[in-house]
Amino acid sequence: MTVEKNRQILLASRPRGEPSPDNFKLVETAVPEAGPGQMLLHTVYLSLDPYMRGRMNAGASYAQPVEVGEVMEGSAVCTVVTSNLPRYMAGDIVVAGTGWQEYSLSDGEGVQRVDPALGPISYALGVLGMPGLTAYTGLLNIGKPQPGETLVVAAASGAVGSVVGQIAKVKGCRVIGIAGGEEKCRFVREELGFDGCLDHRQPNLAERLQAACPSGIDIYFENVGGAVFDAVLPLLNNFARIPVCGLIAHYNATELPAGPYRVPLLMRNILVKRLTFRGFIVFDYGSQFRDFITDMSGWLREGRVKYREDITDGLENAPRELIGLLKGENFGKKLIRVSPDPTKR
């Protein structure tokens, strides 16, 4: 193998509002060599996820930001090129927090082996990985779905939303999705088997949601915020649960929307309807990973959970695709294929 250069994408500057291609910089460096206790990884699939927008801002959130000039943060499915670690050998397939680059070194920390028997190896970044675990743990631990209840989830064709809705169907819920555009909505209804899916780009979302949820809403899995949240709030039933997983509608915001100051209205709803809002981050539930893999690989096998990917070739396209992801332009779980999939050669 003649390896000559490593391509990396750095954070060139911090965006104000929507990121632009200028905020990223593609550089070429030497491919590093694995020292003692290290292995060299070659990126196959890089995952693009909404949380990456947060890492581009200064100031700590639940994780540290990426510094300007550093490689953009991200997880990837990789092949092991060379290994000085006893647990891994060349040719192994793993998931690691490589960042946006073709080659990376790892000491094995946080690395997880990918079992190709469970499904395509790219699934380890989606339905069998972090987004799937997010859907599974947030829905089951906080949403606590009961048969006959109504669940609403937005970004319903996406990596998390699609899984939330399908698990809720497995648990006997009535499931209404929200997505951008009729093509996605049709997919959600016809392929994923949701009971309904509304296009948030069409007018009168609140009225259409009310019509689609004649018994109100018992679980709202919050991953978008914004206008969807405003439409959901009046429809929540007593004792409804709202796992708060993401707020993609606000990630590019530079200031708060105009008033009035509606927090008292939200709090009044929480009080009178005895609502539960609980935020969570997938790392809080890492201990449930094994249960998750068992359940989810079973549901995939049985055809009870279906999963769609949206793959773009070429590391150089990652900035453009992340910008698009934040505007809902992807259709399914967004991946960058950085090098050929070794299981498909």
Interface contacts to a copy of itself, rule CB under 8 A: 61-62, 222, 225-226, 229, 238, 244-247, 250, 253, 255-281, 284
CB 246 within 8 A of CB 224: yes
- Alpha-carbon distance 68 to 328, whole Å? 26
* CB 30, min distance to a copy of itself, A: 37
Nearer to a copy of itself, 58 or 271 (CB): 271
The minimum distance between CB 274 and a copy of itself, in angstroms, equals 4
Complex with a copy of itself: residue 273 or 320, whichever CB lies closer: 273
Q: What's the closest the beta carbon of residue 275 comes to a copy of itself, in angstroms?
A: 5
Handedness of CA 334, 152, 163, 300 (dihedral sign): negative
Query: For a copy of itself, which is the closer residue by CB, 282 or 296?
Result: 282
Distance between CA atoms of residues 205 and 198, nearest Å: 8
The DSSP letter of residue 18 is S
Q: Tell the residue number behind the tokens 């694995």, with chain if given.
A: 34
In contact, 222 and 247? CB cutoff 8 Å:
yes
Torsions phi, psi for 272 (to 5 deg): -65, -40
313 Cα distance to chain centroid: 19
- State in angstroms the smallest separation of the CB of 15 from a copy of itself: 17
CB of 279 to a copy of itself, least distance (A): 4
Rank residues 1 and 272 by Cβ distance to a copy of itself and give the closer one. Answer: 272
**Cα end-to-end span (Å), the chain:** 16
- Cβ proximity to a copy of itself, 213 vs 236, nearer residue: 236
The beta strands (E) that lie in 72-212 are given as 76-83, 93-96, 103-106, 112-113, 150-153, 174-179, 196-199
Residue placing its CB nearer to a copy of itself in the complex, 35 or 283? 283
Q: Report the half-sphere exposure of 263 (CA within 13 A, side-chain side).
A: 3
Alpha carbons 65 and 68: distance in angstroms, whole number = 9
**Residue 89 vs 266, nearer CB to a copy of itself:** 266
Q: Give the separation between CA 178 and CA 154, rounded to whole angstroms.
A: 4
In the bound complex, what is the minimum distance in angstroms from residue 277's beta carbon to a copy of itself?
Answer: 4
Q: Report, in Å, the least distance between residue 140 CB and a copy of itself.
A: 16
Exposure letters 55-86 (e unless 16+ CB within 10 A, then b): bbeeeeeeeebbeeeebbbbbbbbbbbbbebe
Q: At its nearest, how many Å lie between a copy of itself and the CB of residue 200?
A: 17
Length of the chain (residues)? 345
Between 117 and 272, CB nearer to a copy of itself: 272
In 3D, which of 166, 144, 141, 169 has the Cα closest to residue 156?
A: 166
* Torsion angle in degrees (nearest 10) through CA of 47, 52, 53, 54: 160
- Which of 146, 202 has the CB closer to a copy of itself? 146
Least separation, in Å, of the C-beta of 2 and a copy of itself? 45
